Structure 1
Amino acid sequence: MDVLGIDIGGSGIKGAPVDVEVGTLSQERLRVPTPQPAKPGPVAEVVARIVDHFSWTGPIGVTFPGVVRDGVVMTAANVHHSWIGVDAAELFGGATVLNDADAAGMAEMTFGEGRDRRGTVLILTIGTGIGSALFTEGVLVPNTELGHLQLKGKDAEQRASDRAREESGLTWEKWAARVEEYLRHVEMLFSPSLIVVGGGVSKRPGKWLPHVHIDTPIVPAALQNEAGIIGAAQSAAQSAPQPAPIR
């Protein structure tokens, strides 16, 4: 079964049909730069453009970089504040909408490094910001948004995101020290059995991961930057009406 997954990020909006049985993209993804400022109208136009690109008429899942409850946006740290209170599910034509890191985490738990893992697993997406998805015995605790934990008087993502590395001109080693500081904090809070790091930095683990030393095992995400697309499609497939049983 193919479902269209669309992943809204602070710098790019990516989408592709996904084979939700195996967790792979069934067509090459389309990436469009996120409109600046990232207000609801322009972002919805990009989402519609991606839908049209694939001539899609079936179920659609969309991620959003903020807290989402029942399709309504509650926070918007890395996009325009005018998103707060918007019914994104309605804006996107009835799509299934969920937090971006939760979507990535669902995909990674089903098809990636979290598969068959017991205990508490923390999945982090490090890119424009820091997203988080927390699972206990495979069950998601939604909308954790641990990138906004306070470290040294700032949101953690303002110090340890990939954007912070680029804007501060940090070497990978110096940036890894900030990441380690953040990981030690979440390690103290949740005592996870595994930490999985996805997002853009998961494509280059050799540049920073050897410099991070914590007690919890830490691995790069198997699905890398495609996890959000896959998880969005997976969530939409689970939300789609099921055929009535034959009696």
Structure 2
Amino acid sequence: MTDKAAGILAIDVGGTGLKCAVIDDHGTMISERERVDTPHPCPPQVLVEAYAGMAAKHPAFDRISIGFPGVVRNGKVLTAPNLGTELWEGFALADTLSARLGAPARLINDAEMQGYGIVSGKGVEMVLTLGTGAGTALFRDGDLMPHMELAHHPVHDNLTYDEYLGVAAYEKHGKKHWNHHVQRVIELLYVLLHYDHLYLGGGNAKHVEIDLPANVSLADNDAGLTGGAALWRKP
């Protein structure tokens, strides 16, 4: 990339899809959202090269925001449940993508990046993503709280949130039964956190067909990209 422009390449890594778009500092999309299927297996260099190919089709950018489905810290991946933790543990994804694409990069959990694109900034707000697995993010008055990896915490009959709400559960039990799981988790999370508002995001949120409480709503899935602007609002 030699011709730089003031834009952010927002990257949303998913267990089934790799998505990206260039956004401005307010989170507005400058380019069309692009999606390709996630390769399987998907070791780090395969993912990096996939995004290098996607980025080449987009307008110029001078920063990169990455939302990753797992525990991340200081630019490195600690866990990658849906991509293979054994392949990813300790991988410096931010530095590697920065070097490959020629722009500084910041890395955050994917549910947290989506939350930045959704929350109002008032009270205790929670994001629950329903995709290949389940992801969560918690905000208080717009500030991100420490990450809780609820996806791997037991929720019912020794099943984790990932196993109870993920795509495998949807395919095994069917839409109606899976919706009962979603309803149960909505109730459990309220007992646990007494959130002011809960947002349901992720690719499978479109299958939610239960009557939602007044303080629970479906979120725009593009927030997984537009939330990337928030990563560059602070030094």
TM-score, structure 2 normalization: 0.87
Q: Is the 8 A contact 2:72 2:107 kept in 1?
A: yes
2:134 alignment partner in structure 1: 130
Q: Distance in 2 between matches of 1:69 and 1:190?
A: 24
The structural deviation recorded for 1:234 is 3.1
Q: Which amino acid aligns with 2:69?
A: P
Q: Is the 8 A contact 2:22 2:61 kept in 1?
A: no
Q: Which amino acid aligns with 1:96?
A: R
Match of 1:157 among 149, 159, 162: 162
The structural deviation recorded for 1:204 is 4.7
- 3-state SS of the aligned residue for 2:228? helix
1:238 alignment partner in structure 2: 233
Q: Distance in 1 between matches of 2:194 and 2:142?
A: 15
Q: Is the 8 A contact 1:98 1:232 kept in 2?
A: no
Q: Is the 8 A contact 2:7 2:61 kept in 1?
A: no
Q: Does residue 7 of structure 1 match 2:12?
A: yes
Q: Does residue 225 of structure 1 match 2:232?
A: no
- 3-state SS of the aligned residue for 1:92? helix
Q: Is the 8 A contact 2:22 2:30 kept in 1?
A: yes
Sequence identity (%): 33
Q: Distance in 2 between matches of 1:163 and 1:13?
A: 19
Match of 1:38 among 28, 38, 42: 42
Q: Is the 8 A contact 2:13 2:110 kept in 1?
A: yes
1:180 alignment partner in structure 2: 183
Q: Structure 1 121/55 Cα, relative in aligned 2: closer, same or farther at 3 Å?
A: closer
The structural deviation recorded for 1:162 is 3.6
Q: Structure 1 158/41 Cα, relative in aligned 2: closer, same or farther at 3 Å?
A: same
Q: Does residue 88 of structure 1 match 2:93?
A: yes
In structure 1, stretches of 5+ residues that fail to align are 110-114, 242-247
Q: Distance in 1 between matches of 2:178 and 2:7?
A: 39
Q: Distance in 2 between matches of 1:15 and 1:85?
A: 23
1:99 alignment partner in structure 2: 109
Q: Is the 8 A contact 1:127 1:162 kept in 2?
A: yes
RMSD of aligned C-alpha atoms? 1.9
TM-score, structure 1 normalization: 0.83
The structural deviation recorded for 1:55 is 5.1
Q: Which amino acid aligns with 1:6?
A: I
The structural deviation recorded for 1:178 is 0.8
The structural deviation recorded for 1:61 is 0.8
Aligned residues: 223
**Farther-moved stretch of structure 1 (32-41 vs 145-154):** 145-154
The structural deviation recorded for 1:196 is 0.7
- Give a deviation string over 1:48-95, Cα, whole Å, max 9, x none: 112212153411111110111110111111112211111111111241
Q: Which amino acid aligns with 2:128?
A: L
Q: Is the 8 A contact 2:153 2:160 kept in 1?
A: yes
